[in-house]
Amino acid sequence: MSTQNEQAPRPRKQKKQSRFSKTVNRVITIVAVLVLLVAGAVCVKYFVELYQNKNQTEELAALVTESEENYPDEPAWVQPKYRELYNQNNDFVGWITVPNTAINHPVMQSDDNEYYLRRDFYKNYLRRGTVFMDYRNDPENLNVNTILYGHNYLDSTMFSDLEKYKDIEFYKTAPVIEFNTIYADHKWKVFAVFLTTASPELDNNYVFNYIYPFMTESSFAEFIDEVAKRSLYDTGVEVLPTDKILTLSTCTRDMDITSKQENARCVVMARLVREGEDESVDTSQATVNPNPKYPQLWYDKYGIENPYKDDEKWYPRGEG
């Protein structure tokens, strides 16, 4: 039994937070704030670049006109509608438009395949770069294989929308591409879409050379057979050894195994509409390839045995 003389227990004093733990908490808070600020800055920069890129493309497109009266300036051998763009930058060689995509861009060409990777039409630094033609190609006479490159930032800039062609149903909405040069207008019928790599270690020490402009007719016929093996579907569009083709190349993340971006490519190929030929395409003839030939990296990612592993390695023949 308690007595009146017994005192109630004193409440325990909370231990004061140590100076060290306070410092740690402050550091963690500062780091968290810095991370948020950096992430915010990156996001802002991304959307600013996206806006600038789209805005510049729209401004350049507005300079294209069919009226010779608007742009009468020389040189006379440049199509009138493209003279304003050419006079602003003589590296301008054409314009590409792909239906049902945001691909509606000027095409540049320099002395190498590096310059326009990180430059805009006006030669200013731009991370997304500009669509450009392989430096070996002849934009006036067109080689057997004309190659255009563009970045893929998984948005609607440059060649990002090319990946839509991986779906046969999308192909049916855009079977014909328009790529005009400063010399003449051209339509191109899509005949193949495939995935490949640009590093030999990703495909059994082999790189499928789809970017060679100067093939002989016999080598070109073999090349088309190789492309057909790889294509995700058969469009039914005939390609002859005497045809000229357009190759559109961009990056793809389809074969990334980890967070590291692999050196992989998505490629769309089209052939020039022949003189006097109907430019329309019967897309009902298109059929899915049940077993396209992928690079080894693709089989590794999905844990599938590569049925083409022992295939003979093909290389182009011709002189450039």
Q: How far apart are CA 195 and CA 162, in angstroms?
A: 12
Please report the domains of the chain, with CATH numbers, ordered by start residue.
Answer: 92-302 (2.40.260.10)
Q: What is the pLDDT of residue 19?
A: 76
Q: How far apart are CA 133 and CA 121, in angstroms?
A: 13
Strands, E assignment, 142-263: 145-149, 176-181, 187-197, 233-234, 245-251
Q: Contact 311/293 with Cβ under 8 angstroms?
A: yes
Can you give the pLDDT of all 320 residues of the chain as single tens digits?
A: 444 455 555 555 555 557 777 777 777 777 777 666 665 655 555 556 666 677 888 999 899 976 666 666 678 999 999 999 999 999 999 999 999 999 999 999 999 999 999 999 999 999 999 999 999 999 999 999 999 999 999 888 899 999 999 999 999 999 999 999 999 999 999 999 999 999 999 999 999 999 999 999 999 999 999 999 999 999 999 999 999 999 999 999 999 988 888 999 999 999 999 999 999 999 999 999 999 999 999 999 999 999 999 999 999 999 76
Q: What is the pLDDT of residue 11?
A: 55
Q: How far apart are CA 95 and CA 302, in angstroms?
A: 38
pTM: 0.84
Q: What is the pLDDT of residue 44?
A: 55
Q: What is the pLDDT of residue 10?
A: 59
Which of 128, 134, 148 has the alpha carbon at shortest distance from 188? 148
Q: What is the pLDDT of residue 21?
A: 77
Q: Which amino acid is at 72?
A: P
Q: Calculate the CA 134 to chain-centre distance.
A: 14
Q: Which amino acid is at 113?
A: N
Neighbours of 268 (CB within 10 A): 27
Q: How far apart are CA 5 and CA 74, in angstroms?
A: 113
**Residue pointed to by tokens 């006079």:** 87
Burial of 54 (0-12, 13-18, 19+ CB in 10 A): middle
